[in-house]
Amino acid sequence: MARAQPVNIGGIDFPKKSAALAHFRGILYRFEFEERISGADEEFLNAAIERHPDYLAKTGVGIEHFFVGRGDFGTRCFWIRRIDGTEVRFSFKSCV
């Protein structure tokens, strides 16, 4: 059986990856579609996106803000609105 791997994202310690993923899901469902993510949740996502393997491509010229948008088949996902007005979605699982 695999041993739990602790994860630290934005100064928050999670005892295992599944706990970090649950935290992301909590944020994802705390906000309505198209609603800007703010406060501590925004700070957390700013720290998390730095862990994404395509960080530079996802952030482009810079992040204006994060929001919850629609993914394939109407699912919820995180989106970045860049400073230049372009938008791109990203997988929170890739940040863990």
pLDDT level of residue 22 (50, 70, 90 thresholds): very high
- Going by C-alpha positions, the residue among 50, 46, 4 that lies closest to residue 27 is 46
Distance CA 24, CA 18 (A): 10
Q: What does the pLDDT look like over 69-79, one tens digit per residue?
A: 998 888 999 99
Q: What are the Cα distances from residue 41, in Å, to 24, 51, 77?
A: 9, 16, 14
**Higher-confidence residue: 1 or 62?**
62
Half-sphere exposure of residue 96, counting CA atoms within 13 Å on the CB side? 20
Domains of the chain and CATH, by start = 7-95 (3.10.450.40)
What is the pTM for the complete model shown?
A: 0.92
